[in-house]
Amino acid sequence: MYDEKLLHQIKAKANGWLSPEYDEATRKEVKILLEKEDTTDLIEAFYKDLEFGTGGLRGIMGAGSNRMNKYTVGAATQGLANYLKKEFAALPQISVVIGHDCRNNSRLFAEISADIFSANGIKAYLFPDLRPTPEISYAIRKLGCQSGIVITASHNPKEYNGYKAYWNDGAQVIAPHDRNIIAEVNNVSSVKDIHFKKNPALIQLLDETIDKLFIDDLLSISLSPEAIARHKDIKIVYTPIHGTGITLIPDALKAMGFTQIIHVPEQDVVSGDFPTVVSPNPEESAALKMAVEKAIETGADLVMASDPDADRVGAAVRNEQGEFVLLNGNQTLLIYLYYLITRWRELGKLEGNEYVVKTIVSTELVKTIAKKNGVKLYDCYTGFKWIANVMRQNENKLTYIGGGEESYGFLAEPFVRDKDAVSGCMLLAEIAAWAADNGKTIYTLLQDIYVEYGFSKEKGISVVKQGKSGAEEIEEMMKNYRQNPMTELAGSKVIFIKDFAKLTGKDLIEDETVSLNMPTTSNVLQYFTEDKTKVSIRPSGTEPKIKFYVEIHGKVDAREDLAAAETAADAKIAEVSKSLGI
Query: Looking at the predicted structure, is the pLDDT value of residue 343 above 50?
Result: yes
HEC letters along 523-564: CCEEEEECCCCEEEEEECCCCCEEEEEEEEEECCCCHHHHHH
Kindly write down the DSSP assignment for every residue of 412-458, as one continuous string: --TT--S--HHHHHHHHHHHHHHHHHTT--HHHHHHHHHHHH-EEEE
- Does residue 33 sit in the same domain as residue 127? no
Q: Is residue 503 part of a domain?
A: yes
Q: Which of 452, 469, 491 corresponds to the end of one domain?
A: 452
pLDDT of residue 551: 97
The pLDDT assigned to 52 comes to: 61
Q: Name, in order, each residue with C-beta under 8 angstroms of 297's C-beta and a sequence gap of 6 or more.
A: none
**Residue 216 is assigned to a structural domain of this protein:** no
Please tell me which residue, 189 or 166, carries the higher pLDDT value. 166
The answer as to whether 247 is a domain residue is yes
Q: Which of 425, 452, 479 is the last residue of a domain?
A: 452
Last residue of a domain, one of 176, 207, 238: 207
199 and 168 in one domain? yes
Same-domain pairing of 486 and 554: yes
348 and 428 in one domain? yes
Within this chain, do residues 300 and 386 fall inside the same structural domain, yes or no? yes
pLDDT at residue 186 in the model: 85
Q: What's residue 175's pLDDT?
A: 87
* Residue 582 confidence (pLDDT): 87
Domain assignment present for 475 = yes
Residue 53 has pLDDT above 60, yes or no: no
Q: Are residues 398 and 523 in the same domain?
A: no
Tell me which residue range forms the domain holding 7: 1-47
Q: What is the helix (H) or strand (E) element at residue 462, kind and residue range?
A: strand 455-464
Query: The domain spanning residue 184 has which CATH number?
Result: 3.40.120.10
Residue 258 lies in a domain: yes
Percent of the chain at pLDDT > 70 equals 99
Please state the three-class secondary structure of 248-305 as a single string. Answer: CHHHHHHHHCCCEEEECHHHHCCCCCCCCCCCCCCCCHHHHHHHHHHHHHHCCCEEEE
CATH number, domain of 488, equals: 3.30.310
Domain assignment present for residue 552? The answer is yes
Percent share of the chain, pLDDT over 90: 91
Same domain? For 351 and 231 the reply is yes
Q: Are residues 175 and 317 in the same domain?
A: no
Question: Band of the pLDDT at 1, cuts 50, 70, 90?
Answer: very low
Q: Alpha carbon of 293 to those of 78, 234, 251, 297, 300: distances in Å?
A: 46, 17, 23, 6, 10
Residues 61 and 126 in one domain: yes
404-421 tens-digit pLDDT: 999 999 999 999 999 999
Q: What is the pLDDT of residues 371-400, one digit of tens each?
A: 999 999 999 999 899 999 999 999 999 999
CA distance 281 to 160: 13
Our answer to whether residue 423 is catalytic in this structure is no
492-494-496-501 Cα dihedral, nearest 10 degrees: 130
pLDDT in tens, 444-501: 999 999 999 999 999 999 998 887 788 889 999 999 999 999 999 999 999 999 999 9
Q: What is the pLDDT of residues 143-154, one digit of tens each?
A: 999 999 999 999
Classify 506 as helix, strand or coil: strand
Residues 485 and 348 in one domain: no
Which residues are within 8 A (CB) of 462 and not within 5 positions of it... i.e. 6 or more apart? Answer: 540, 543, 545, 546, 547, 548
Instruction: Examine residue 214 and state whether it is found in any structural domain, yes or no.
Output: no
Sign of the alpha-carbon dihedral angle for 567, 568, 571, 573: negative
pLDDT of res. 395: 96
Whether the per-residue pLDDT at 114 is higher than 80: the answer is yes
Phi, psi of 495 (to 5 degrees): -115, -15
First-residue to last-residue Cα distance in the chain: 26
User: Is 434 found in the same domain as 489?
Assistant: no
Residues 298 and 409 in one domain: yes
For the cut 80, the answer to whether the pLDDT of residue 54 exceeds it is: no
Average pLDDT of the chain? 95
Number of domains in the chain: 4
Options 106, 118, 147, 154, the catalytic residue: 154
pLDDT per position as a tens digit, 186-216: 899 899 999 999 999 999 999 999 999 999 9
Q: Is residue 217 part of a domain?
A: no
Write down the pTM of the prediction.
0.94
